[in-house]
Amino acid sequence: MDRTGTPLVELKNISISFGGVRAVDDVSLDLYPGEVVGLLGHNGAGKSTLIKILSGAYQRDSGTIRIDGKDADIRSPADARRYNIETIYQTLALADNLDAPANLFLGRELTTPFGLVDDARMEAETRKIMARLNPNFRKINDPVSALSGGQRQSVAIARAVYFNAKILIMDEPTAALGVHETKMVADLIQELKAQGLGIFLISHDTREMMDLCDRVSVMKNGQLIGTERVEDVTEDDILSMIIMGKNPKAAA
Amino acid sequence: MTDVTTPAARPRRGWKALDLDTRLLGMIGAFIVIAIAFDIASGGRFITPRNLFNLTIQTASVAIMATGMVFIIVTRHIDLSVGSVLATTSAVMAMTQTSLMPDVLGLGLGHPLTAWVAILFGIVTGAAIGAFHGYLVGYLAIPAFIVTLGGLLVWRNVAWYLTSGQTIGPLDETFQLFGGINGTLGVTGSWILGLAASVITLWALFAARRNKISHEFPVKPMWAEVTVAAIAIGAILGFVALLNAYSVPSRVLQRNFAARGEVMPEGFTQGYGVPISIVLLIVVAIVMTVIAKRTRFGRYIFATGGNPDAAELSGINTRMLTVKIFALMGVLCAISAVVASARLANHSNDIGILDELRVIAAAVIGGTALKGGIGTIHGAIIGALIMQSLQSGMAMVGVDAPLQNIVVGGVLVLAVWIDIVYRKRTGAKD
């Protein structure tokens, strides 16, 4: 893993408060192309909040975000998309009443020369990308509420892949999935990584994180406990960081 | 409902190849049952050209507003103020016609521009009121129920205040053309409209098929396409024939001839044809359907209704969307006000009272789900037609006024229950 060039993403001294609670407290993180950085911590440790600042869902109180070494002004999800940041949310952020193509292109519909939405073209594009990501995907015209967890997840991932994400944020992408579907997502992460995407991954599953990530960052009570390369630490080290909030290497 | 839409799947056969909307068929069936029941009960007076003509013009005002209510309810809001906004816009338009244009601007009564200026003012007023409601709901996060409950009182009494509680009329003659019986296309005009609509329908079906083929999607078998086209064109031309069959009463014709200084020829008859208010409703229905199905605005309305968080995370400005939806509702209230006040030939203080309930009932009977995300424009219009046919059918049969309202209220609840059962049976989760 080469970490000598310019990082794809640099988060510097990010803080945000909600009604007096510092949800994220002076956190700095970076991410290189082709790298997977895992974010670990208890519920309420601030992982999702931090990541929502990068994806534009929340606005930071202080700190800077750099993309490719340049200051990035991210105030809304639309801004984040302009920097090729795509997010796959824990809650799957799909409109259940719409079908897969409508969800895949939501907010970025393909249109005809008259400015009307071009459903046929969006459906054709959806079939193409689904043939690549999840060949078993059949229910193109059904509302996504009729799909299984894995199929819904593949719609969310297809959205990120179709729009050429450079930075992908995955918030517990396998939480609702079965064994086979989890494997599918893991394979996909490896493929995207090989294509040079940078991925932030949030999960509670320490073992899974050791397998998928290049580095892991642990948060507790809004603060960053430490960031370690997975080859330098054991699963127990990480667990103690999560639980004790102390970095065993720093203590040593 | 399963995987019939993929290329690998078998094509649908027989009845299913027609790909008809069963919910739509159910509503049309309900209307036919109601019509036949009242026809029997009234001794054959319900299914007559005259009564059906009247039914369409009575439905127009509520149906126009119901199309807007679909968008409001789909985004999980409600608008209780539509009847009052209708009254305020009607008052503004009436004042423009009887006071502003003739007296203040000195153009006199019957100036050719009067009706159009009045309609413009009405629409601008409606849009402004709606946008204001939308701002309160979207940006200040006050629940729509409360904003429009306030609006129900406020705009009813703004209308009263503007007119000092007087009935304003008679309205401009051009304006009255939008009311129904005073403005129809006549027999020839109606047939031209019917033929034009048929040609456009054929073209739309053909274009849709060609588009599917160009993307290599499965298409219906040719016989099914032809059947659907035949049903659609039959319905259009049948509707025109029905409205043409209602003849202008001979004494009205005699009066018209006398006014021109002529004598009416023996045996002369003339059909009314399609009322202009119905043409207006059809235009509104088409525009609203295109918005719902073929524009980004419409797509965002349904996405926001299905999952507001997902819509926002997808970069949709849901607050501005709320403003636009309520502004559109205000515009439709103004258009309804044109139809309603023109039909009565004057603006009265009680215009549009209880319309909010009729409009919401029409949308809900038409299949709009109150929890959001689901609803159709054509459903709401048929819902309005069903409500109106119950109301006027009962009046025709001589049911007492309190009983009429009891039945209408009961039918609303029953319709929603049937809808819930229908959704469970067809396996839809929403």
Task: State residue B14's pLDDT score.
Answer: 63
- Measured in angstroms, the CA of A103 and the nearest CA of chain B are apart by 8
Which chain A residues touch B302 with a CB distance below 8 Å? 95, 97-98
CATH assignment at residue A53: 3.40.50.300
Residue B403 has pLDDT above 70, yes or no: yes
Q: Dump pLDDT digits (tens) for B323-373.
A: 999 999 999 999 999 999 999 998 999 999 989 999 999 999 898 988 888
Which chain A residues touch B307 with a CB distance below 8 Å? 93-97
DSSP of B372-398 = SS---HHHHHHHHHHHHHHHHHHHHHT
Task: State residue B415's pLDDT score.
Answer: 82
The letter for the amino acid at B100 is L
DSSP of B210-236 = HHHHHTT-----HHHHHHHHHHHHHHH
**Candidate from A145-154, A216-225, B275-284 with smallest mean pLDDT:** A145-154
**Candidate from A55-59, A246-250, B239-243, B416-420 with smallest mean pLDDT:** A246-250
Task: State residue B147's pLDDT score.
Answer: 97
- Whole-angstrom distance, CA of residue B300 vs CA of residue B322: 10
- Measured in angstroms, the CA of A9 and the nearest CA of chain B are apart by 20
Q: What is the pTM of this model?
A: 0.86
Task: State residue B3's pLDDT score.
Answer: 38
**What's the average model confidence in pLDDT over A166-181?**
83
Task: State residue B389's pLDDT score.
Answer: 92
Q: Would residue A151 count as lying in a domain?
A: no
Q: Chain-wide mean pLDDT for chain A? A: 86
Q: Would residue A176 count as lying in a domain?
A: yes
Phi-psi region of A44 (alpha: psi -120 to 50; beta: other; left: phi over 0): left
* Contact call for residues A196 and A2 (beta carbons, < 8 A): no
- Whole-angstrom distance, CA of residue A119 vs CA of residue A109: 9
Task: State residue B2's pLDDT score.
Answer: 40
pLDDT-derived band of residue B95, with 50, 70 and 90 as boundaries?
very high
Q: Dump pLDDT digits (tens) for B208-257.
A: 888 888 877 878 888 888 888 899 899 999 998 888 888 888 788 888 88
pLDDT-derived band of residue B9, with 50, 70 and 90 as boundaries?
very low
Which of B307, B321, B368, B426 would best serve as a mutation to test chain A binding (most A beta carbons within 10 A)?
B307
Q: A106 and B310 in contact by Cβ < 8 A?
A: yes
Q: Dump pLDDT digits (tens) for B281-297.
A: 999 999 999 999 999 99
Q: Dump pLDDT digits (tens) for B97-110.
A: 888 877 788 777 77
**What's the average model confidence in pLDDT over B422-428?**
71
H or E stretch including A104? Answer: helix A100-104
Which chain B residues touch A98 with a CB distance below 8 Å? 299, 302-303, 306
Q: Dump pLDDT digits (tens) for A193-219.
A: 888 889 999 988 888 888 889 999 999
B5 — contact with chain A (CB < 8 Å)?
yes
Question: Any idea which residue has 């403005």 for tokens?
Answer: B183
The tokens describing B266, both together, are 């023996």
Task: State residue B17's pLDDT score.
Answer: 65
Q: A145 and B212 in contact by Cβ < 8 A?
A: no
Residue B11 has pLDDT above 60, yes or no: no
Residue B15 has pLDDT above 70, yes or no: no
Q: A102 and B430 in contact by Cβ < 8 A?
A: no
Residue B1 has pLDDT above 80, yes or no: no
**What's the average model confidence in pLDDT over A233-237?**
86
Give Cβ neighbours of residue B419 (< 8 Å, ≥ 6 apart).
B367
Residues on A contacting B at a C-beta cutoff of 8 Å: 55, 57, 76-78, 81, 87, 89, 91-98, 102-103, 106-109, 111, 115-117, 119-121, 123-124, 138-143, 145-146
Q: A89 and B302 in contact by Cβ < 8 A?
A: no
Which of A52, A85, A97 would best serve as a mutation to test chain B binding (most B beta carbons within 10 A)?
A97
- Whole-angstrom distance, CA of residue A47 vs CA of residue A177: 21
Q: Would residue A160 count as lying in a domain?
A: no
Task: State residue B131's pLDDT score.
Answer: 97
Q: B306 and A95 in contact by Cβ < 8 A?
A: yes
Residue A227 has pLDDT above 50, yes or no: yes
Q: Would residue A178 count as lying in a domain?
A: yes
Q: A95 and B294 in contact by Cβ < 8 A?
A: no
pLDDT-derived band of residue A192, with 50, 70 and 90 as boundaries?
confident
pLDDT-derived band of residue A179, with 50, 70 and 90 as boundaries?
confident
The domain of A208 spans 9-95+166-251
**Cα dihedral B125/B128/B133/B135 (nearest 10):** 180
Q: How far is CA B354 from the centre of its chain?
A: 16
Residue A251 has pLDDT above 60, yes or no: no
The DSSP call for residue A145 is G
Task: State residue B18's pLDDT score.
Answer: 67
pLDDT-derived band of residue A50, with 50, 70 and 90 as boundaries?
very high
B10 — contact with chain A (CB < 8 Å)?
no
What's the ipTM? 0.81
Query: How many residue pairs from chains A and B have C-beta atoms closer than 8 A?
Result: 104
**What's the average model confidence in pLDDT over A70-80?**
89
Phi, psi of A200 (to 5 degrees): -95, 130
Residue B10 has pLDDT above 50, yes or no: no
Task: State residue B428's pLDDT score.
Answer: 54
Q: Dump pLDDT digits (tens) for B363-382.
A: 998 989 888 889 999 999 99
- Whole-angstrom distance, CA of residue B415 vs CA of residue B427: 18
Which chain B residues touch A140 with a CB distance below 8 Å? 5-6
B292 — contact with chain A (CB < 8 Å)?
no
Q: A124 and B215 in contact by Cβ < 8 A?
A: yes
Among A106, A120, A146, select the one facing B314 at the smallest CB separation: A106
- Measured in angstroms, the CA of A110 and the nearest CA of chain B are apart by 9
Q: Chain-wide mean pLDDT for chain B? A: 88
Residue A1 has pLDDT above 80, yes or no: no
Domain total for chain A?
1
- Percent of chain B surpassing pLDDT 90: 51
**Cα separations (Å) of B238 from B34, B40, B83, B230?**
19, 22, 33, 12
Residue A35 has pLDDT above 50, yes or no: yes
| CB contact burial A5-43 (16+ within 10 A = b; e otherwise) | eebbbbbeebbbeeeeeebbbebebbbbbbbbbbbbbee
Q: Dump pLDDT digits (tens) for A100-116.
A: 999 999 988 999 888 89
Task: State residue A239's pLDDT score.
Answer: 86
* Contact call for residues A182 and A174 (beta carbons, < 8 A): yes
Q: B315 and A77 in contact by Cβ < 8 A?
A: yes
B262 — contact with chain A (CB < 8 Å)?
no
- Measured in angstroms, the CA of A142 and the nearest CA of chain B are apart by 8
Which chain A residues touch B211 with a CB distance below 8 Å? 120
pLDDT-derived band of residue B133, with 50, 70 and 90 as boundaries?
very high
Q: Would residue A119 count as lying in a domain?
A: no
Q: Which residue of A has its CA nearest to B315?
A: A78
Residue A2 has pLDDT above 80, yes or no: no
Q: A109 and B296 in contact by Cβ < 8 A?
A: yes
- Whole-angstrom distance, CA of residue A219 vs CA of residue B186: 76
Q: B3 and A146 in contact by Cβ < 8 A?
A: no
